[in-house]
Amino acid sequence: MKEITGETKLFGILADPIHHVKTPQRMNEYFARAGYDGVLVPFHARSDNLAPVLNGLKRLENLGGIIVTVPHKTAILALCDDASDLTRKIGAANVVRREPDGRLTAHMLDGEGFVRGLRSCGHEVKGKTAYMVGAGGAANAIAFALLRYGVSCLTIANRTVAKAEDLKSRVLDLYPQACINIGTSDPSGHDIVINATSLGLKEGDALPLDASKLRTGQVVCEVIMQPVETAMLQAARERGCAVHYGAPMLACQIELMAEFLGVTAAG
Ligand code: NDP
């Protein structure tokens, strides 16, 4: 990292809890590689303080932007001044840029990061069937990205079924011809299987899906980064599936976030 001076641009990641986040390490490494004079630090804020925290941060003239993660991705969108149509349809944001006039522009990159991460490991989504468990912030973004990149059919399963139904109807608004089903815990018959819930983060968590139904030939994907190999991935590996970890999703997002935040390599 460059020496921090009065010229250094400030970035942060807003989360609660915050101890597990990997973005500060990854983004500061990126700044160092690019020779960029910036620093990203953890901002630990509770949900009931999100609005006043953001209101104060946006008044910092040297703030470049903010990365946003659990549990703030949905709430942050309503607190920002601008967002793309797609971000509004997804209904959640994970990066916010401070414009020179102090306005905040929100964007969502979880979906793009997930699909790019998958492709970087040799797994194409075009023409494939996908099963995704989850309907939270990350799952919403992933669903839109899977359709954008051409999955032939998407099955969404979620503990709160109404949230899966709501996600399905918003995706269909944008992709009226899409094949989208609401599923159970059974991922049978799909090429790509994705856990987009937070189940697996904690030791002793239940499996997010019925792993006894996994079969050789399926690519089983995780969004969780810690632990690196969740119980679901372990079960998938034992059943002969290809496994895809959570880390490439973040690695691909770091570049996309830096681009959105206007981080430019030193000439
Ligand atoms: P949200 O809080 O928005 O969504 C959580 C999801 O998990 C919901 O679908 C929720 O279901 C489900 N869930 C939570 N607890 C349970 C449970 N006990 N049983 C069944 N379902 C449960 O979180 P995000 O979508 O923002 O994040 C999800 C995960 O993705 C996190 O682990 C996060 O760390 C990871 N992530 C990883 C990234 C990466 O780069 N690798 C990037 C972004 C996120 P319900 O709707 O019923 O509550």
How does pLDDT run across 76-113, given as a tens digit for each residue? 999 999 999 999 999 999 999 999 999 999 999 999 99
Complex ipTM, two decimals? 0.98
Residue 239 Cα to ligand 1 midpoint, Å, equals 24
Residue 14 Cα to ligand 1 midpoint, Å, equals 16
How does pLDDT run across 9-46, given as a tens digit for each residue? 999 999 999 998 889 999 999 999 999 999 999 999 99
Please give the average per-residue pLDDT across 133-155, as a whole number: 97
Atom 38 of ligand 1: nearest residue by CA position: 223
Phi-psi region of 39 (alpha: psi -120 to 50; beta: other; left: phi over 0): beta
- Structure confidence at residue 267 (pLDDT): 59
Residue 93 Cα to ligand 1 midpoint, Å, equals 14
Domains detected in the chain? 9-108 (3.40.50.10860), 111-247 (3.40.50.720)
How does pLDDT run across 206-254, given as a tens digit for each residue? 999 999 999 999 999 999 998 999 999 999 999 999 999 999 999 999 9
63 has a pLDDT exceeding 80: yes
> Which tokens go with 165?
């139904």
- Which residues have C-beta atoms less than 6 Å from ligand 1? 70-71, 73, 110, 113, 134-139, 158-160, 163, 197-199, 201, 223-225, 246, 249-250, 253
- Structure confidence at residue 244 (pLDDT): 98
Q: How far is CA 195 from the centre of its chain?
A: 12
Nearest-angstrom CA–CA distance, 199 and 204: 9
